[in-house]
Structure 1
Amino acid sequence: MSLSPTHLLIALQHADGQFPSGGFAFSQGLEASSSLAGKLGPFDFADFVATQIRHRWADADRVALVRAHRLAGDLDGLAELDREVEASTFVEGLRSGSRRNGMALLTTHGRLGTKGASACRDMVRKGDACGHLAVVQGLVWQALDLDEATAVAIGGYQMVASLATAAVRLGLIGAIDAQAATARALPVIEAAACRAVADDEALRSFTPLCEIAVALHGASGQRLFSN
């Protein structure tokens, strides 16, 4: 993957954790899994990240992002893909987190004038689409003229970086350990990203312990993150 300086700078801007996407409120099951370790078995941050990459992101979020990117702004096609993501995400906490993150990203890009973002946001508000994060990522990064491989790399990096940030906020690891864990995860992202995706590839994930933890987490009274 070779990017022009312009496209590299755009990719860095949109991969930056300071880019306003709304993800700070969600831990993607990290908080639930770590707090329920006594009930669900030992918790290890590095293992949790690797499981999320291999068994959710690689075959679900990454696939949705790639398929959305290839739709090149086709809003009807994006809405159909959105409904597929909705149907394939079993736990409400993960569904709602994905929708809220996606809507936050759409709102930001709408205000920035990214092509298709405002129209897609209007569809979500009318109930004609769900606005799941991976679908929105594919839409807006394609509109910014970032190629498929770059969009996938940003998506994978953001997922791991957000988990590392959440782990630091929860006091599970320190800032240096977070960077070390992120570095170890990058080759796992790269390996997953190299797998081909068919235009009609089904979305698949298998993270049962995380999903159980999120479901139990939803009934708990005190928590830092929404999921």
Structure 2
Amino acid sequence: MIGQLLAIWQADTAFPSGGFAFSNGLEGLAALSGPIDEMELENVVANALRRRWASADRVALARAYRVADDLDRVEAIDREVEASTLAEPFRLGSRRNGASLIAAHARIGTPGAREFQGRVRQGRALGHLPVAQGVLWRGAGLDAASAMLASGYVALSGFTTAAVRLGLLGAVSAQGIVRRLLPLLAELAAAPLPSRIESFSPRLDIAAMRHARGEVRLFSN
């Protein structure tokens, strides 16, 4: 029971992880492609879960979780995430989100958070979000399966929350997308881990890179 509550706690949008500032490329995609209807948005999110979260973030989190007590090995995973993330806005966003999550956990006293924060501040670690999730959530007491589901839900809800803030659809429609994609998320979370960290989301990558040059933006990426 406590494991489930810990996962809900960390997936809750009220937890100060900084994710509200990022649209994961959705704002740039809307500007590039024009209006996005509910069906297309659902397809965009589903593809992002399959080709970015499941194949990259999920892998980094699982690896970092396993070696959370060896921060030298965590640093190597951080560098692999950096090297495998093509779009600079996503690299910067991941590091900023990770820094916010680390800072929150350091303040509430999560075991290992201050040591990891120190390495990030020294430039030894980069603090990418999935890596930070693996380290911090193990320290917070989440089991590996719960940490995986919490990460996936954060990714899924991040898209739908951004879509509502962008006016692409209403809050109820957004929750409809979440409900329909929960089975996909559960399936992806339970799938065998790929051997490498890799992502392929060219539409969102291009949209995020174009968005980074825009003068008027609601989100950072």
1:204 to 198, 207, 211: 198
Rounded Cα–Cα distance in structure 2 between residues aligned with 1:46 and 1:208: 17
Rounded Cα–Cα distance in structure 2 between residues aligned with 1:73 and 1:53: 28
The residue aligned with 2:216 is 222
Paired-residue identity, %: 48
The residue aligned with 2:19 is 23
Rounded Cα–Cα distance in structure 1 between residues aligned with 2:202 and 2:99: 26
The residue aligned with 1:168 is 164
Asked if the contact 1:114/1:144 (under 8 Å) is kept, the reply is yes
1:185 Cα deviation after fit: 1.1
TM alignment of 1:172-191, pairs within 5 A: 172-191=168-187
Rounded Cα–Cα distance in structure 2 between residues aligned with 1:76 and 1:122: 13
Q: Which amino acid aligns with 1:97?
A: G
TM-score, L = length of structure 2: 0.95
Instruction: Deviation per CA, 1:124-169: give whole Å up to 9, x if none.
Output: 1111011000000001111122111111100000111111111000
1:74 to 63, 70, 73: 70
1:116 Cα deviation after fit: 1.0
TM-score, L = length of structure 1: 0.93
Rounded Cα–Cα distance in structure 1 between residues aligned with 2:125 and 2:10: 23
Asked if the contact 1:61/1:134 (under 8 Å) is kept, the reply is yes
Which ranges in structure 1 are unaligned for 5 or more consecutive residues?
none
Q: Which amino acid aligns with 1:220?
A: G
Rounded Cα–Cα distance in structure 1 between residues aligned with 2:65 and 2:143: 8
TM alignment of 1:40-51, pairs within 5 A: 44-51=40-47
**How many pairs were matched up?**
217
Instruction: Deviation per CA, 1:82-105: give whole Å up to 9, x if none.
Output: 000001001110000000000000
Asked if the contact 1:65/1:138 (under 8 Å) is kept, the reply is yes
Asked if the contact 1:73/1:143 (under 8 Å) is kept, the reply is no
1:146 to 130, 142, 147: 142
Rounded Cα–Cα distance in structure 2 between residues aligned with 1:11 and 1:169: 25
1:6 Cα deviation after fit: 1.9
| Matched residue SS, 2:156 | helix
1:72 Cα deviation after fit: 2.9
Which ranges in structure 2 are unaligned for 5 or more consecutive residues?
none
Rounded Cα–Cα distance in structure 1 between residues aligned with 2:54 and 2:114: 28
1:197 Cα deviation after fit: 2.1
Q: Which amino acid aligns with 1:216?
A: R
Aligned CA-pair RMSD = 1.2
